[in-house]
Structure 1
Amino acid sequence: MTPRGLLLGNDLHGSGLLRTTHTQRDPARIVNAALRAVTIIITVCGMRVQHLPHTLALATAAVLVLSAAACSNASAPTTSSPNGDRDGAGAQASASEKPVEVSDVDPRAAIAYEGGIQIVDTSDGTVVADIKKEGFLRLNPAGDGRHVLVSSSEGFEVLDLGMIVKPHGDHNHYYTTTPGLTGSVIAAQTPGHVVTHAGKTAVFDDGTGTVTMFDTKALEDGQLSPDELTSFQTNDPHHGVAVPLVSGSVLVTEGTEDERHTVHERKADGSIGAESTDCPGVHGEATAQGEDVASFGCTNGSVVFRDGQFHKVPVPEAYQRSGNQFGSPESPYVLTDYKTVEPVDGAAPEHPTKVGIIDTTDATTTTVELGSAYWFRSFGRGAAGEGVVLTYDGRLNLIDPASAAVTKQVDVVTPWTENENWQEPGPNVKTAGDFAYITDPTAKKLHLVQISTGKLLSSLDLSVVPNEMAVIDAELKQ
């Protein structure tokens, strides 16, 4: 899918932005609607209803609407935690809301700011929902083309962006619904990495070392029941990551809060298969083209899992950290940051200007000099596997990984430098298909660049200072 409204000269009808809903005032429809309302209210209160005479429907509905408050405090179905945030406009997606069919759905951006999350239509900047929520919020695509997992003090909260695509033969049907937190939460003491691969989503709780997984399609109703979740414990709490594989195994890190150097294959029966203990400071992962191909960052060169084994990536430096890695199912290459200065207490942090490109087919790496620094939120991958990196000079660098060369540079944001505190707002890059979405906190803008052409397509005004961001294209399942 493409942002059609932009590519067709802001043809609002073509992008599905102008929608007309016709309500037919048929008495039979009114009665049926009343019956549905009665059924919903009674069900919420924990009672059962088999049949209700049509002649009583309207009167009963009126009485039950007035008395619904009496059961409003009844416990709602939850996953592992019932503490979904329900404050703010559009903060709670209604399970009973009927989706509205539209001609198309454009990608939507979930943008965290101080005090909440805005859901923005990327075709014109319309704020579809503004969800009030305190705390530093991290946003992770859930992998199903509709939901985002919000890392908060509650754990991993499910956020519905309100876009639905239903395949129907040789075409799709499109629907929208009110975005909001669904109330479903995967409890976590310290929510960390979220990884989607092989039709599964895995989340890691750094505070307990627990890995929790679910079939990504289980999120279709916005809820995750306990029987849809599977979990296992690593040996100790640590800042870790887990990658589900097609084989049914899981690649998972092991370590402690102070030290970690191991990543291994945990098979479906809990036994350990392949293992690498030569990955000090293991952090960051990416999957690449091919079945069950993944790369992990270390401080002495990365390790690649391929053909059921781990392969060490040799590097010329004694210290070489690539803790932020970005893969593509269309490319055997993994794009990484590339640090070569070992941190020392009290010293200024390193701001590298080179990025790394790992060839997972032979476990080798090359570097690309960009001439300007970047940070961990600067990266993305294009539809054809292109590398995307935003640098301090405000340019978006488009890279051909096969030749390790910058092919295009696009002036996008105000020149910037990385904040000392990584949680403070800074430019953020996310990609979906052939498009890169870039925030500019200084100018309160959201920019859209077409990766294949290197063209800046639009710059949208934001009403908040953007921090974390996730962009979801409903037609691109991960």
Structure 2
Amino acid sequence: MPHRSAPLTAMLTLAMLTLTGCARAEADAPAASPESTGHGAVARATEMSEPPLAVVTIDPGGTVRQLDLLDESVAELGEVPVASRASSDGRYVFADGGDGLSIVDSGRWTWDHVDHFHYYLAAPNMLGEVPGRGPATVATTSSSTTGGTGVFFAESGEAVLLDTAAMSRGELVERFRLEVDPHDGLVVPIGGYALVTQPQAGVAASVSVLDEDGMPQPGATADCADARGTVTTRVGAVIGCADGALLATLVDGGVELERIPYPAGTAAPPATAFAGRDGRPTVAGPAGDQGIWLLDTRERTWTLLAVDRPIVQATAVDDEAQHVLALAVDGRVLVIDGKTGALLSQTGPLVADSLATDAGSPTLIADQARAYLNGPAEQVVYEIDFADAARISRTFATPTEPALFAETGR
């Protein structure tokens, strides 16, 4: 499809209708299902018998390194412009420098076939940069070889949908680039569509569904005051709103939008960031200074877990034991029972220096078996066995500050 660039506000005026209610989609269907053939493979990739897990770090100068978590070898992948934050879908790493977005292909990914998985390893690749002004917010699906990847540049108000299949072939192709009034916005891909926020008085106030060419879908718009934070779960794509969450699901070839309101009478601040283990329905986010919000997208329910100290980040493992992990302001990783809210175990103050300085922001990531935490000031990456009393299973020293980091291959 051709690249499309056009003002979005005028295009949406004909499509704006109020959300009146939506039916529940099938609970266990992937939010963005890969193609039925190919099992997520691409040319020049090797299928592996287990996930080719790795940790990608970006130091303050922009050097990108990848640590293989199986053999502990380290490879220098290249350089990106100095970045202030990074995110990942488990394959690609997106480094945001405030003046364009750099994309690194780690060459490692897992393809989710619902009842089983396929694992792939290929040569890493520095894909290049997506131009734009201001902080870039990235949203991805559960597939790193199909669908789209959304990027929104806050200062310029540019809403971009990248072709993820092209990225898997080493190309950066924009499905659309639209002009929206500048704000802290979102472009959230789902199937062959994307959700794009629209502002009111400079703040995201509603969400509209566009097709992959950037054309609005009539009637597919919902209010979402102060829209912030997004994640894709097994069930669908989530966007945080001031009064709860907006859940987008694929139903009958289209997108349905459904509200999941916060429990009546709650006084806890809304979640503005979400994290969870890939391929699971439950995600977590800090509830201000009042604990952790858990959102179960399969059951359409919120649960507030009280925590005895302020939380910086939270992520839901959503395993059989319902583990929830949190990074506290004192630098400790807490392991919490997601059913009862009980503190099961905790580490020592692993990244206290990083949280107390400007060395960089620690990031806590969880997969099925381990959690990973970078300490920029400490110049270390920790591997934590959260199911074994938060035991530090491995520690990886880094040659420079791992200011930004992500886990890949998952």
**Shared fold, TM over 0.5:** yes
SS of the aligned residue for 1:218 comes to: helix
Q: Where does residue 355 of structure 1 map in the other structure?
A: 292
User: Using the alignment, how far apart are the partners of 2:248 and 2:174 within structure 1?
Assistant: 26
Contact 1:357–1:404 (CA under 8 A) maintained in structure 2: no
TM-score between the two structures when normalised by the length of structure 2: 0.71
Q: Where does residue 136 of structure 1 map in the other structure?
A: 83
Residues 381-396 of structure 1: pairs in structure 2 closer than 5 A: 381-382=316-317, 384=319, 386-396=323-333
Q: 1:335 to 1:258 in 2, by over 3 A?
A: same
User: Which of these residues, 164, 176, 197, is aligned with residue 141 of structure 2?
Assistant: 197
Contact 2:68–2:74 (CA under 8 A) maintained in structure 1: yes
Residues 279-358 of structure 1: pairs in structure 2 closer than 5 A: 279-290=224-235, 293-305=236-248, 308-315=256-263, 316-317=265-266, 320-328=269-277, 330-339=279-288, 352-358=289-295
Aligned-pair CA distance for 1:150: 2.2
Partner amino acid for 1:214? L
User: Which of these residues, 346, 358, 361, is aligned with residue 426 of structure 1?
Assistant: 361
Aligned-pair CA distance for 1:429: 0.9
Aligned-pair CA distance for 1:472: 0.4
Partner amino acid for 1:408? L
Contact 2:354–2:360 (CA under 8 A) maintained in structure 1: no
Q: Where does residue 465 of structure 1 map in the other structure?
A: 401
Higher strand share: 2
Q: Where does residue 448 of structure 1 map in the other structure?
A: 383
Aligned-pair CA distance for 1:440: 2.3
Q: 1:124 to 1:459 in 2, by over 3 A?
A: farther
Residues 4-83 of structure 1: pairs in structure 2 closer than 5 A: none
SS of the aligned residue for 2:166 comes to: helix
Q: Where does residue 216 of structure 2 map in the other structure?
A: 270
Aligned-pair CA distance for 1:357: 1.2
Q: Where does residue 221 of structure 1 map in the other structure?
A: 169
TM-score between the two structures when normalised by the length of structure 1: 0.62
Q: Residues 358-389 of structure 1: CA distance to partner in whole angstroms, max 9, x if unpaired?
A: 233554422112212222xx333437374321
User: Which of these residues, 237, 245, 252, is aligned with residue 190 of structure 2?
Assistant: 245
Aligned-pair CA distance for 1:235: 3.5
Residues 393-432 of structure 1: pairs in structure 2 closer than 5 A: 393-401=330-338, 403-406=339-342, 408-411=344-347, 413-414=349-350, 416=352, 424-432=359-367
Aligned-pair CA distance for 1:411: 0.9
User: Using the alignment, how far apart are the partners of 1:322 and 1:195 within structure 2?
Assistant: 17
User: Which of these residues, 159, 165, 174, is aligned with residue 104 of structure 2?
Assistant: 159
User: Which of these residues, 236, 239, 258, is aligned with residue 181 of structure 2?
Assistant: 236
Q: Residues 64-118 of structure 1: CA distance to partner in whole angstroms, max 9, x if unpaired?
A: xxxxxxxxxxxxxxx99xxxxxxxxxxxxxxxxx999999884222222221233
Partner amino acid for 1:359? D
Q: 1:300 to 1:153 in 2, by over 3 A?
A: closer
Q: Residues 397-418 of structure 1: CA distance to partner in whole angstroms, max 9, x if unpaired?
A: 33454x2534632315436288
Q: 1:418 to 1:404 in 2, by over 3 A?
A: farther
- The number of aligned residues is 350
Contact 1:382–1:433 (CA under 8 A) maintained in structure 2: yes
Partner amino acid for 2:271? S
Contact 1:436–1:451 (CA under 8 A) maintained in structure 2: yes
Partner amino acid for 1:229? E
Percent identical? 19
Partner amino acid for 2:332? R
User: Using the alignment, how far apart are the partners of 1:434 and 1:380 within structure 2?
Assistant: 14
Aligned-pair CA distance for 1:211: 2.5
Contact 1:154–1:185 (CA under 8 A) maintained in structure 2: no
Contact 1:301–1:320 (CA under 8 A) maintained in structure 2: no
Tell me which structure has the larger Cα radius of gyration: 1
User: Which of these residues, 148, 154, 173, is aligned with residue 206 of structure 1?
Assistant: 154
Higher helix share: 1
Aligned-pair CA distance for 1:196: 1.4
User: Which of these residues, 298, 305, 308, is aligned with residue 371 of structure 1?
Assistant: 308
User: Using the alignment, how far apart are the partners of 1:310 and 1:131 within structure 2?
Assistant: 42
User: Using the alignment, how far apart are the partners of 2:307 and 2:324 within structure 1?
Assistant: 12
* Unaligned stretches of 5+ residues in structure 1: 1-78, 81-97, 340-351
